[in-house]
Structure 1
Amino acid sequence: MPHLVILYTANLDRDTDMAALCRSLADTMLAQQDEDGKPVFPPGGTRVLAYPAPHYAVADGGAAGRAAGTHTQGASGDAGDYAFAYLNLRMGRGRSDATKKRVGDALLARTKAHFDPIFGQRHLGVTLQIDEGAEVFDAKHSNLHPLFKK
């Protein structure tokens, strides 16, 4: 933990580099510090994964945008359906509310900056949610963490 999972409409693959977004979000997470100046997330446990949805339906499929004359098209020339990205950060308990808000604000700012060029090309919705909680079962096996112990 933490894991940031991005589910997005596949039409975004034509308009942006999702691998670059994953890297910048992971770097943003790793840069976060708590009130004591300590890292919020362990480097070896930080994950950002993005999954395109090849099949999707968003809102009315673009009808309102076309009717209003505001429906633009993506870089591929696609004037069809809207685009959408859902980001869900899952982390264990133990961080202050202020820290969680700073993390959320930083991730949203980074996401908005990444998608800013697309907002000028097509209609796009972005949602970021942060979940935390006690796991019913939590098992890990990794040889990554020792790389980051000093």
Structure 2
Amino acid sequence: MAHLIFEYSANLAADGDIPGLLRKANHVLIDSGLFPVGGIRSRALRLDEYCVADGDHDDAFVHATVKIGAGRSPQAVKDTANALFDMMKQHFAVQFDQRYLALSLELSEFPEAGTLKHNNIHKRYAKK
């Protein structure tokens, strides 16, 4: 299980390529080999109401929340967070150079006892 939620300021909608960000994020997780492909989910929430810093400028932000199932080593968790954050920095490099932009990421693990799942997507990948 790996779920990614990107919250982003609406002023990035025109040039932030949010669909591309979601695809890249999924591929970072797939390429890690740590997560079943059928359990990876990403989504983005455009925020039209927000205030960054003192609110006097057209500042932008993207905050990623990554939720994974427990059971991976601390180093694997750290490596996953770093790989995702590096991808975010690369994805938004042009915007970072052209405007004020804050990027952040938090990763949390769910204990197995705290999650319920019902998913038949895994079947598709078991056939490969």
Q: Same fold (TM over 0.5)?
A: yes
Bigger share in strand: 2
Bigger share in helix: 2
The answer to whether the aligner puts 1:14 opposite 2:14 as a matched pair is: yes
Q: Which amino acid aligns with 1:128?
A: L
* In structure 1, C-alpha distance between the alignment counterparts of 2:114 and 2:86, rounded to whole Å: 33
CA RMSD of aligned residues (A): 1.4
Displacement of 1:84 after TM fit? Answer: 0.6
Query: Stretches of 4+ moved more than 6 A in 1?
Result: none
TM-score (norm: length of structure 2): 0.92
The 5 Å alignment of 1:1-150 reads 1-32=1-32, 39-62=33-56, 80-134=57-111, 137-150=114-127
Could you tell me which runs of 5 or more consecutive residues in structure 1 were left unpaired when the two chains were aligned.
Answer: 33-38, 63-79
Aligned to 1:14, the other structure's residue is in SS state coil
Could you tell me which runs of 5 or more consecutive residues in structure 2 were left unpaired when the two chains were aligned.
Answer: none
Displacement of 1:90 after TM fit? Answer: 0.3
Alignment deviations for residues 12-70 of structure 1 (CA, whole Å, 9 cap, x no partner): 102221000000110011000xxxxxx200000001111100111111124xxxxxxxx
TM-score (norm: length of structure 1): 0.80
- Equivalent pairs, count: 127
Q: Which amino acid aligns with 2:23?
A: R
* In structure 1, C-alpha distance between the alignment counterparts of 2:44 and 2:126, rounded to whole Å: 27
Cα pair 2:2 2:67 within 8 Å, conserved: yes
* In structure 2, C-alpha distance between the alignment counterparts of 1:7 and 1:136, rounded to whole Å: 27
The percentage of aligned residue pairs carrying the same residue is 37
Highest Rg: 1 or 2?
A: 1
Displacement of 1:2 after TM fit? Answer: 0.8
